Copies of this chain bind each other. A is one copy, B any other.
Amino acid sequence: MAIFIKDVLLNGETTSILIENDTITGIGKNLSMPVSGVSPNKKDNLTVIDGKGKGKAVLPTFANMHTHAAMTLFRGYGDDHPLEEWLNEWIWPAERNLDEDIIYWGTRLACLEMIKSGTTLFNDMYFFTDAASRAVADSGIRAMIGFTGFDFFNPETAEKMKKDISEWYNNLGHSSTQSSIIPVVAPHAPYTVSGDTLVWLADFAAERNLHYHIHMSETESEVANSMKQYGMRPYTRLAKLGILDKMSSRFIGAHSLHLEEEEIKLLGDHHASVVHNPNSNLKLGSGYKFMYQELRDAGVNVTLGTDGCSSSNNLDMLEATKTMALLQKGWRGDPTTMPAKEALKVASLNGFRFAGINAGKVEAGAVADLLLIDLDNIGFIPNNDTLSNYIYSSHSEAIVTVICNGQPLMQNRQVEDEDLIKREARRVAKKLLQK
Q: SS class of chain A's interface: helix, strand, loop or mixed?
A: helix
A426 / chain B contacts, CB cutoff of 8 Å: 381-383
User: Which chain B residues lie closer than 8 Å to A119 at the CB level?
Assistant: none
Provide the residues of chain B in CB contact with A281, threshold 8 Å: 330
Q: Is A384 a contact of B74 with CB atoms below 8 Å?
A: yes
Contacts of A282 in B (CB 8 A): 326-327, 329-330
A10 within 8 A of B: no
In the complex, A433→B116 CA distance in Å? 34
Tell me if A284 and B323 are in contact (CB < 8 A).
no
Cross-chain contact B339 with A79 (CB below 8 angstroms): yes
Number of this chain's copies in the assembly equals: 2
Quote the shortest CB–CB distance from A57 to chain B (angstroms).
13
Looking across the interface, which residue of chain B has its beta carbon closest to that of A74?
A: B384
Chain A 403-435: CB-based contact to B (< 8 A → 1; otherwise 0): 000000000000000000010011001100100
Asked if B283 and A389 make an inter-chain contact with CB atoms under 8 angstroms apart, the answer reads no
Is there a chain B Cβ closer than 8 Å to A288's Cβ?
yes
Among A81, A376, A384, A388, chain B packs the most CB atoms within 10 A around the CB of: A384
In the complex, A80 has a CB within 8 A of chain B: yes
Q: Which residues of B contact A386 (CB under 8 A)?
A: 76
Report whether B339 and A388 are in contact in the complex, using a CB–CB cutoff of 8 Å: no
A83 is an interface residue with CB less than 8 A from chain B = yes
Q: Does A332 contact B (CB under 8 A)?
A: yes
Give every chain B residue within 8 A of A207 (Cβ-Cβ).
none
Residues of chain A at interface, number, CB under 8 A: 66
Complex: A109 Cα to B314 Cα, angstroms: 29
- Smallest CB gap from A376: residue in B: B422
B333 touches A287 (CB 8 A): yes
Cβ-based interface call for A395 (8 A): yes
Beyond A80-B340, A285-B333: 7 further Cβ-contacts under 8 Å?
A: A75-B389, A76-B386, A283-B326, A285-B337, A314-B379, A319-B319, A382-B425
What residue in chain B is nearest A77 (Cβ atoms)? B384
Q: Which 10 residue pairs of A and B lie closest in terms of their CB atoms, listed nearest first?
A: A282-B330, A382-B429, A76-B388, A76-B385, A80-B339, A282-B326, A313-B392, A313-B393, A77-B384, A397-B397
* Bound form: Cα–Cα A393–B340 in Å: 23
- Asked if A229 is at the interface of the complex by the 8 Å CB criterion, the answer is no
Pair B334/A285 contact, Cβ less than 8 Å: yes
Tell me whether A73 is interfacial, beta carbon within 8 Å: yes
A203 surroundings in chain B (CB, below 8 A): none
Residue A336 interfacial (CB < 8 Å) = yes
A313, B397: Cβ atoms under 8 Å? no
- Contact B283 A329, beta carbon cutoff 8 Å: yes
